[in-house]
């Protein structure tokens, strides 16, 4: 098991990152559980909860006497039912199933989780565990932040995107017609537990969502990840060692950035490279046909175009080399450039009527710049649509 340094920030308890391939061991470790061994038989004895420095035994985070609230993606539960039930047996778990898809990041779905939580045994130290991709993690995280002003939250990401990005850093939330993730809060999990076994059933299109975030890290922090992402994008060239290395590198990058800037007042904005363009595209699409990773992939191409127009020497060739892999068709939105620029002005990261973009001066050299030239943004959209057509 690889345990990364804890993410220590000033406004919440620390988060721990456990990279491993056995969810049961990870869950036990996150609770400070050890196996006592009956030396007469050699068989595992009764698991005991121990007080550790990592998990403070306070009234909010001590082991709970109520069932765990498990919020799980419906597709994940269907594909990994036996694994999940071994770790979270029915007699000690209250299970809430989340329909797959971005539509579940809604006020209605959030309210259903709240109602479910209060419909049964509940304490302020009742753990809420999110098992799923970014949608489930964001939705369940916001519910955990809201119930009794905060339940202990554990994230179990089951998609590559969630493992390298969305499960890390404490951003939780739901969507609104006004924009993506416009309702939410910063709420950090007690631990993020990784089991790459979940990825064995991940469809290729969802896999590429995670590749988009790895490519993002390649541009803003670690150029080697661009090559590694390309190696993971093709199912024929993937290997476990490369996968684990990419997850570890990505988690370290994001954890270090968030630890320094928990609430996006400074360098954490770098993690939004490609996202201002991408979120506008998702909103324009009404979260129906283009998923988050695809939108970010297109958004990075547009952001790199703006970077070059402003005189920075950075290529989009590592992205365009994956064009056939992504097979992204944006023709339905090519006539909506004016609308897309308007949506960019509504991005929650903006401080005024201008648009704050993350640009890159070179590999590993991101910066935030205010853009008030709408024509430049329109050119970037046109270039992106033309390039991907």
| Residues with catalytic roles | 149, 171, 213, 254, 264, 268, 272, 275, 279, 292
Pairing state between β 68-73 and 43-49:
unpaired
Please give the Cα distance from 369 to 357 (Å, whole number): 5
Burial of 256 (0-12, 13-18, 19+ CB in 10 A): middle
User: How is residue 350 annotated by DSSP?
Assistant: -
Burial of 6 (0-12, 13-18, 19+ CB in 10 A): middle
Please give the Cα distance from 299 to 238 (Å, whole number): 25
DSSP SS3 for 151: coil
Pair of tokens at residue 298: 């297109």
Residue with tokens 């993002």: 216
**Measured CA angle at 314 (ends 311, 318), to 5 deg:** 155
Q: Name the residue among 170, 149, 173 with its Cα closest to residue 292.
A: 173
Phi, psi for 155 (deg, rounded to 5): -105, 130
CB 282 within 8 Å of CB 290: yes
CB 295 within 8 Å of CB 369: no
């Amino acid at each position: 098991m690889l345990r990364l340094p804890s993410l220590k920030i000033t406004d919440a308890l620390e988060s721990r990152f456990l990279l491993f391939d056995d969810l049961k061991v990870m869950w036990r470790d996150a609770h400070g559980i050890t196996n006592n061994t009956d030396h007469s038989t050699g068989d595992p004895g009764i698991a005991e909860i121990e007080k550790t420095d990592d998990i403070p035994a306070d009234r909010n985070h001590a082991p709970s006497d109520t069932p765990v609230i498990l919020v799980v993606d419906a597709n994940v539960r269907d594909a990994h039912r036996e694994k999940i039930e071994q770790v979270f047996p029915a007699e000690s778990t209250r299970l809430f199933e989340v329909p797959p898809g971005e539509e579940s990041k809604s006020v209605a779905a959030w309210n259903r989780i709240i109602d479910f939580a209060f419909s049964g045994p509940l304490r302020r130290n009742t753990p809420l565990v999110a098992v799923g991709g970014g949608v489930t993690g964001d939705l369940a995280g916001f519910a955990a932040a809201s119930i009794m002003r905060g339940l202990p939250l554990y994230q179990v990401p089951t998609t590559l995107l969630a493992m390298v990005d969305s499960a890390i850093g404490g951003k939780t939330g739901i969507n609104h017609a006004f924009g993506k993730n416009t309702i939410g809060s910063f709420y950090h999990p007690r631990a993020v537990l990784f089991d790459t076994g979940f990825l064995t059933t991940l469809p290729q299109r969802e896999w590429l969502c995670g590749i988009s975030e790895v490519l993002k890290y390649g541009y803003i922090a670690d150029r080697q990840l661009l090559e590694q992402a390309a190696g993971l994008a093709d199912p024929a060239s993937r290997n476990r060692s490369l996968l684990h290395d990419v997850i570890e590198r990505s988690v370290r990058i994001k954890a270090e950035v968030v630890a320094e800037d928990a609430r996006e007042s400074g360098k954490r904005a770098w993690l939004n490279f490609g996202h201002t363009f991408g979120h506008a595209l998702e909103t324009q699409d009404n979260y129906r046909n283009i998923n988050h990773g695809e939108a970010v992939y297109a958004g990075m191409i547009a952001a790199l175009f703006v970077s070059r127009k402003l005189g920075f020497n950075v290529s989009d060739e590592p992205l365009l080399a994956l064009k056939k892999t992504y097979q992204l068709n944006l023709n339905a939105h090519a006539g909506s450039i004016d609308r897309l620029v308007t949506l960019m002005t509504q991005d929650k990261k903006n401080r005024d009527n201008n648009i704050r973009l993350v640009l890159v001066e070179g590999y590993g050299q991101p910066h935030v710049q205010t853009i008030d030239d709408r024509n430049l943004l329109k050119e970037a959209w046109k270039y992106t649509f033309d390039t991907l057509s």
